[in-house]
Amino acid sequence: MSCGKVILDTGAVERALVRLSHEIIERNADCESICIIGIRRRGVPLARRIADNIMRFSNIRVTLGELDISLYRDDLTDIGNQPRLNSASIDFDITGKNVIIVDDVLYTGRTVRAALDAVMDLGRPACIQLAVLIDRGHRELPIRGDYVGKNVPTSRSEMIMVKVPEFDGETAVELVNLG
């Protein structure tokens, strides 16, 4: 079911993820020092696809984890009275690693800020990089993606919907007008 204008179809999403994967390999000469952490929800399947691509292109299996940033958000009171505690699936040491955080859409930067706080609580990585499928602008914090699949200028009355098979049964990116 389509709710908006398709700006990336399945093939375009795949090409963007392949390009992001190649850029990650090129920038991180020692791929064995990479670990990839997807932000729940849609960042996780995108992180898996990037990790699979890196394996396919460099024959190196990167460590993969999932991060739930809900308790690190600065808008908990806006979300509800009782924040739900969800566990992160990171059973490896990130100290000294090149951590690549993966998310679907970069918007205000607040989700990424929360992810940075959560990662820093896990250890001291050599560096933290950010990979996003879509950068839609409207930053409220000085955060930018190191790897960006596509820049999509939007108005605040629009929303980007990233669809992945794990949650939506299809792969696509749609621009939805809320107003």
For residue range 73-87, list pLDDT tens digits in order.
Answer: 565 555 444 434 355
Burial code of 85-107, b = ≥16 C-beta within 10 A, e = fewer?
eeebebeeebeebbbbbbbbbbb
Nearest to 101 by CA among 80, 132, 134: 132
Each of the 179 residues of the chain gets a pLDDT tens digit; together they read: 457 899 999 999 999 999 999 999 999 988 789 999 999 999 999 999 999 999 999 999 999 999 998 777 565 555 444 434 355 688 899 999 999 999 999 999 999 999 999 999 999 999 999 999 999 999 999 999 999 999 999 999 999 999 999 999 999 999 999 87
Determine contact, residues 143/151, Cβ cutoff 8 Å. Answer: no
Comparing CA positions, the residue from 104, 106, 108 lying closest to residue 164 is: 104
pTM above 0.75, yes or no: yes
Task: Compute the half-sphere exposure of residue 49: CA atoms within 13 Å on the CB side of its CA.
Answer: 24
Which residue shows structure tokens 């955060």? 143
